[in-house]
Structure 1
Amino acid sequence: MKILITANDITIGGGVERVVCNLANAFDESGFEVEILSFYKNNEKCPYILNPNVQLTFFPNTLDIHTKQPLKRLFNKTIYRLFVAWKMKQMFKDKDIMIYNCYFFPYFKNKNTQYFKIHHQVFKRSWTYKNKLFDSNIILTSKQLALWQSKIKNVQIIPNFLTQIPDTNTNLSQKVILSIGRMSKGDEKRFTSLIEIWRLIQQDKSLQEWKLHIVGEGEGKQELEQLICKQNLQDSIILKPFTKEIEKEYLNASIYTMTSKYEGFGMVLLEASSYGVPCISFDILAGPSDIIEDGKSGFLVADNNLSAYALKLKLLMYDETLRQTFGKRAKEITKEKFSKEKIMQQWNTLFNSK
């Protein structure tokens, strides 16, 4: 079976791009012939390791649909997208399956090809018609299923997976709390809320030995630094750059915190859980509730309730036994639901059902 997986730009090193590479490698290891098509190439090479048999192709001369010139933008988002769909139909007539992870759509199709789309973001009503072009729409979490099924019939849940579940667990006696994410101007990860939660925590003198490590980069970093200084929290909040040795960050933490406005899935929660780190998150539209069992492997808090979040976080900080119990269950969940073997079974079932 020949599979093509698309990506907007495989060279930028984002979360979607990592998922694409992991999926391509897993399909290759399952005996499929796999090719990745990247529409853009802003960097010299893909930052993630691909198996030798996985072919990487770049679409020739893709136009920038994000141009600020109104007429070019209109052309690139209408006529040009039709051209791309037609060109793909000509280029990949031999593919049995195409899996889209981008903002292009199969307006022109090959008769013997199945077309799938993985949705890494929350439901977009404006894309309802275009999503009906796919033989199956893959969503990552169950929380959105009812909304999707009210608009589209061909919907499947297949979550992301961990390429490997580590044998090691973190030492949960460490007084370190971890959060990872891009520090954007729009503050999608709501690190400003996390800083306010931490200010509430630091009012408890018995918890002042604890440190909050926020790992990430982005154009919003300076504003976060200013806010931390304004709140006089610079001794207890440490901003750290992204690192390829992210395992060390998980192993140095006793609790993982997420305060995002939204998540397509929440891969960092899954990674933290795989090291036996209990997690706490706002119960947002998608992602966390599929990974965290509230009161068993971590805590889910009503969205944007900062005081309730601080109280739950303090419970975990006070009680190492509770952290051990939650961390053990968190690791069990990763093995039960998110191993590569489990998720590949779901993909094979989907392929064989069409």
Structure 2
Amino acid sequence: MPNAVPQYSKEADPGKERTRHTIIDVARLTREQKQPHVLITAFSLLAKEFPDWDLEFWGVDPGDGSYQKYLSDLVGKLGLNDRVFFRGVTTDVLSVYLNSDIFAIPSSFEGFGLAMTEAMSAGLPAVGFKSCDAVNEIIRDEVSGFLTDDGPEAYAEALRKLMADPMLRKKMGHAAKLEMEEFSPERVWDEWEKLLSKLVQNKKQ
């Protein structure tokens, strides 16, 4: 049974002309699961080609902070201190979605990917790995985003397609929003009610 996903009345406009465009990743900063270092490396392959794009991480290192220091050092080593930002936490994540252009989820594994589905429900196209369970069941490749082979090079190619084409971002973002209606609270609770009713009936028999 899936999680319920908020159905936002507002929709992002990832095809909008802006002074600066933004790729976001909303997740804990963890090496093995969330893999933000892979996203930073992928972005570094595109930074010169797309000088009006930035990368933002929303989330914190739940450990001792050593991994976040590693990420900060990596950003500096790649010369991206003015392009990659660690924003910490927010109590208004919808505003983050609405003011962004692409949602990136470079995870190696997921249970459901709630931040991803929320971003898609807000109208953002998403990019994830085809090897990542849950992600590969929610993103429809070339419809609501892209599923890529493992590694920063393949991930960069998927990002490039969206970064270079505002109409594609808009089309895929709108498709993502429509597809997230499948996980609306009303539908999910209805499925739970059907399941519980069936269990009660079976127990009475």
Is 1:313 aligned with 2:159?
yes
Partners in 2 of 1:187 and 1:227 — Cα distance?
Answer: 16
Q: Give the share of equivalent positions with the same residue, in percent.
A: 29
Partners in 1 of 2:51 and 2:133 — Cα distance?
Answer: 33
Contact 1:250/1:272, CA 8 A, preserved across alignment: yes
Is 1:160 aligned with 2:3?
yes
Contact 1:269/1:291, CA 8 A, preserved across alignment: no
Is 1:232 aligned with 2:79?
yes
Tell me: CA distance 1:267–1:326, structure 2 relative to 1, closer, same or farther (3 Å): same
* TM-fit CA distance, 1:312: 1.2
- Aligned Cα root-mean-square deviation (Å): 1.2
* TM-fit CA distance, 1:290: 2.4
Alignment equivalent of 2:135, drawn from 268, 277, 288: 288
As a proportion of its length, which structure holds more helix? 2
Give the match for residue 96 of structure 2: 249
Partners in 1 of 2:155 and 2:133 — Cα distance?
Answer: 18
Alignment equivalent of 2:189, drawn from 317, 341, 344: 344
Is 1:277 aligned with 2:119?
no
Any stretches of 5+ residues in structure 2 without a counterpart?
200-205
Any stretches of 5+ residues in structure 1 without a counterpart?
1-157
Partners in 2 of 1:305 and 1:225 — Cα distance?
Answer: 20
Alignment equivalent of 2:56, drawn from 213, 229, 253: 213
Relative to the length of structure 1, the TM-score reads 0.52
Contact 2:107/2:132, CA 8 A, preserved across alignment: no
Q: Match of 2:45, as an amino acid?
A: L
Find the structure with the greater CA-based Rg.
Answer: 1
Q: Secondary structure at the match of 1:263?
A: coil
Is 1:170 aligned with 2:8?
no
Task: Tell me the alpha carbon deviations over residues 243-271 of structure 1, each in whole angstroms, 9 at most, x when there is no partner.
Answer: 11111111110100010111001111100
Alignment equivalent of 1:193, drawn from 21, 26, 38: 38
Contact 1:170/1:275, CA 8 A, preserved across alignment: yes
Contact 2:146/2:158, CA 8 A, preserved across alignment: yes
Task: Tell me the alpha carbon deviations over residues 181-205 of structure 1, each in whole angstroms, 9 at most, x when there is no partner.
Answer: 1113x4421011111101111142x
Task: Tell me the alpha carbon deviations over residues 206-243 of structure 1, each in whole angstroms, 9 at most, x when there is no partner.
Answer: x1110001111112211111110011111110110111
Alignment equivalent of 2:109, drawn from 262, 265, 268: 262
Tell me: CA distance 1:235–1:216, structure 2 relative to 1, closer, same or farther (3 Å): same
Partners in 2 of 1:241 and 1:211 — Cα distance?
Answer: 16
Task: Tell me the alpha carbon deviations over residues 83-102 of structure 1, each in whole angstroms, 9 at most, x when there is no partner.
Answer: xxxxxxxxxxxxxxxxxxxx
Q: Match of 2:109, as an amino acid?
A: Y
Q: Match of 1:228, as an amino acid?
A: V
Q: Match of 2:4, as an amino acid?
A: F
Relative to the length of structure 2, the TM-score reads 0.89
Contact 1:161/1:338, CA 8 A, preserved across alignment: yes
Task: Tell me the alpha carbon deviations over residues 96-135 of structure 1, each in whole angstroms, 9 at most, x when there is no partner.
Answer: xxxxxxxxxxxxxxxxxxxxxxxxxxxxxxxxxxxxxxxx
Is 1:180 aligned with 2:17?
no
Contact 2:34/2:106, CA 8 A, preserved across alignment: yes
Partners in 2 of 1:344 and 1:309 — Cα distance?
Answer: 35
Partners in 2 of 1:339 and 1:290 — Cα distance?
Answer: 17
Q: RCO greater where, 1 or 2, for CA within 8 Å and sep 6 or more?
A: 2
Partners in 2 of 1:239 and 1:187 — Cα distance?
Answer: 18
Q: Which runs of 4+ in 1 moved over 6 A?
A: none
